Amino acid sequence: MKALSSLREEVESWNKFTGHLLDLIDLARMDDETLRSDLEKETADLESDLDKRAFTTMLSSPYDAGDALLAIHAGAGGTDSQDWAAMLERMYLRWADARGYQTEILDRTDGEEAGLKSVTIAVDGKYAYGYLRSEKGVHRLVRLSPFDAAHRRHTSFALVEILPQVAMDDAEVVINSNDLKMDVFRSSGAGGQNVQKNATAVRLTHIPTGIVVTCQNERSQLQNRENALRVLRSRLLEIKRAEKDQEIAVLRGEYTKAEWGSQIRSYVLHPYQMVKDHRTDFESGNTQAILDGELDAFMEAYLRKSAT
């Protein structure tokens, strides 16, 4: 029903676009000079709409049109890296909000002094995974550290994971209950007395792969277990897809292993201000706007290059 609804919306959207185009053609044929300015504006709007529609044709992979799971992990660098991870969390939440996507924090581990060690966020909305998959990789920050008494320049790293959300009935991922080990414990983060006193947090271990997933943001143990299963299904799917991609790449003779240190993007706040994507060479000097969630230009540059 979800797929049917999505296709119906797509068809209705194109029918509306076509109707608008035919109306403009009819008005243009009237050759009325008083309509010229309105026609030019309507035509520009229609061309902009068409450009967006053309771009979405690049988001044609099996899970591109669906929801995503976004995970951020602080790297080496102590408090600075944990603060950087929190800055990335804010950046992506603002980006999702600007696009009208719904977000839900499934699990979050705070840093000792500031920031966070890791966070997992569900991002729900059309093409959420298609856009966000451009963000997968290591993100590097260079700045004067607010946590250094001498105010020296520090380099921090954080890893961003992007996974497609997998439906319960997706045939690609089958989880046998006998392959799961579940532990429950009291939440270590904020969340009220009920979370602190009761063992509501859940840790799931997938025995065949050794994947461990924890969820502790909900007050209900059952809800945390469901969220942990959502994340586990997505991680298992990612493993299957990575194995398949690796096999194809090896056959083509182009496989290279992705290492932690190979950052995809650098955010430099000192001695100059610049955000640069190392895969596309796309860059912007408006660092504050980028950190406030204006990421579309970077995402589109990557997706356009990937499509060529």
28 CB-side CA count, 13 A: 11
Of 44, 38, 43, whose CA–CA distance to 21 is shortest?
A: 43
pLDDT band at 58 (very low <50, low <70, confident <90, very high): confident
Looking at CATH, the fold of the domain delimited by 68-169+258-307 is given as Alpha-Beta Plaits (3.30.70)
The pLDDT assigned to 192 comes to 44
State how far the Cα of 4 lies from the Cα of 9, in Å rounded to an integer: 9
Decide the pairing of beta strands 180-185 and 201-206.
antiparallel
pLDDT category at 239 given cuts 50, 70, 90 is confident
- Model confidence at 198, pLDDT cuts 50, 70, 90, reads confident
**Cα separation, 212 vs 202, whole angstroms:** 10
pLDDT > 70? residue 194: no
| Nearest-angstrom CA–CA distance, 284 and 275 | 5
Q: For residue 114, which phi and psi values (nearest 5 degrees)?
A: -160, 165
What is the Rg, in whole angstroms, of the alpha carbon atoms belonging to the chain?
23
User: Each residue of 165-174: pLDDT tens digit?
Assistant: 987 767 678 8
Cα-flanking dihedrals φ and ψ of residue 285, to 5°?
-90, -5
158-211-93-199 Cα dihedral, nearest 10 degrees: -120
How is residue 275 written in tokens?
């955000």
Give dist(CA 219, CA 201) in Å, integer.
Answer: 8
Mean pLDDT value across the chain: 87
Task: Report, as an integer, the average pLDDT of 68-96.
Answer: 94
Run of H or E including 94 = helix 78-98
Could you name the CATH architecture of 177-252?
2-Layer Sandwich (3.30)
Tokens of 260: 């932690």
Q: What is the dihedral of CA 4, 232, 227, 180, to 10 degrees?
A: 120
Backbone angles phi, psi at 274, to 5 degrees: -165, 140
Query: Nearest to residue 231, comparing CAs of 153, 161, 142?
Result: 161
- Compute the distance between CA of residue 34 and CA of residue 255 in angstroms, rounded to an integer: 61
Q: How far apart are CA 212 and CA 168, in angstroms?
A: 19
| Contacting residues for 198 by C-beta, under 8 A, at least 6 apart | 186, 221
From residue 216, alpha-carbon distances to 116, 171, 221, 223 in Å are: 15, 28, 8, 9
Give the mean pLDDT of 207-236: 90
Q: Where are the domains of the chain?
A: 2-56, 68-169+258-307, 177-252
Q: Whole-angstrom Cα distance, residue 200 to residue 217?
A: 9
pLDDT of residue 108: 92
Q: What is the pTM of this model?
A: 0.81
Taking the C-alpha atoms of residue 297 and residue 308, their distance in angstroms, rounded to an integer, is 17
